[in-house]
Amino acid sequence: MLKKELRLQNPLRFMERENEDILPEGGFGAVLARAGVGKTAILVQLALNTLLKGKNVLHISLNDPVKKVGLWYKEVFRHLTQHYEARKTNEVWESILPHRFIMTFRVEGFSTSKLEERLTDLEEQNIFSPQMIFIDGFQIDDTARKSLSDLKRLAEKRSLHVWLTIKTHRRKKPDPEGMPAPLLDVVDLFDLVIQLQPEGKEIHVKTLKGTGADSDQPVLFLDPATMLLKKTAA
């Protein structure tokens, strides 16, 4: 029951399809923002929402060690459940942990072939088989299109849903429709693109592509104090 309550609190639920997934199988979602704005916090909330559904999550960090990623999950979960009884929240926490696997790569060492090799090793030993993959710190460079295309083929082959965080830069101007420069050459590969845009003391969550873009859906913000999503500004 508590798991369902926590899921219903998720402001991104309006993006979900009839099967309660935001992305289609083999689909890509991107969270864009400048450094330090909240990309990892959003990614962890998306992952926790998936874990609360009983689905297996693989979190890949290209910058942080496993321990730091684990602390992100604990902190976000603590904020999500602070108004509930500790015993019940501890039970939920213990029940979702077996569905999460954290994996790290050096940025320059990440590739789809290496990822597939690790996935195969995990599955052949009956250790872990993901349904959703969250990649934190993906870099867009001259080889990004090939890397993303390879990753998309892997996602489609394994019926995975993939989220990536991508850093944007203040000095690079977006296109006339507001799409940040890093994504212009690869945006066609993504089903959903979310941008975190600081506006005064608030962090506005804008949907640039996909469900929720150009619609009457509620305006979302990231709370600077808790780094949780909310429907209204402070």
Instruction: With CA atoms as reference, report the closest residue to 96 among 136, 54, 125.
Output: 54
Range scoring the smallest mean pLDDT among 54-68, 128-142, 152-166, 203-217: 203-217
pLDDT at residue number 166? 96
Tell me the per-residue pLDDT of 81-94, one tens digit each, with 9 for 90 and over: 999 999 999 999 99
Report CA-CA distances (Å) from 14 to 7, 9, 11, 139, 219: 11, 11, 7, 29, 11
Residue 56, phi then psi, degrees to nearest 5: -85, 130
Is residue 144 scored above 90 in pLDDT? yes
State the Cα–Cα distance between residues 149 and 138, nearest whole angstrom.
14
pLDDT at residue number 39? 95
Dig out the tokens for 120 from the structure.
């195969």
What's the predicted TM-score (pTM) here? 0.93
Range scoring the smallest mean pLDDT among 18-22, 29-33, 152-156, 183-187: 18-22
pLDDT at residue number 16? 73
Interhelix angle for 39-51 vs 66-80, to 10°? 70
Tell me the per-residue pLDDT of 178-208, one tens digit each, with 9 for 90 and over: 898 889 999 999 999 999 999 888 899 999 9
Interhelix angle for 112-124 vs 144-158, to 10°? 30
13-29 average pLDDT score: 80
Task: Give me the domains of the chain, ranges plus CATH numbers.
Answer: 2-197 (3.40.50.300)
Range scoring the smallest mean pLDDT among 5-9, 22-26, 27-31, 42-46: 5-9
* pLDDT-derived band at 170, boundaries 50, 70, 90: confident
* pLDDT-derived band at 10, boundaries 50, 70, 90: confident
- Measured at the CA of 208, the angle between CA 204 and CA 209, to 5 degrees, comes to 145
Range scoring the smallest mean pLDDT among 19-23, 148-152, 196-200: 19-23
Q: Which residue has the higher pLDDT, 226 or 159?
A: 159
Is residue 59 scored above 60 in pLDDT? yes
Q: What DSSP state is assigned to residue 111? A: -
State the Cα–Cα distance between residues 147 and 159, nearest whole angstrom.
18
Ramachandran category for residue 121: left, alpha or beta (phi over 0 → left; psi -120 to 50 → alpha): alpha
Q: What DSSP state is assigned to residue 75? A: H
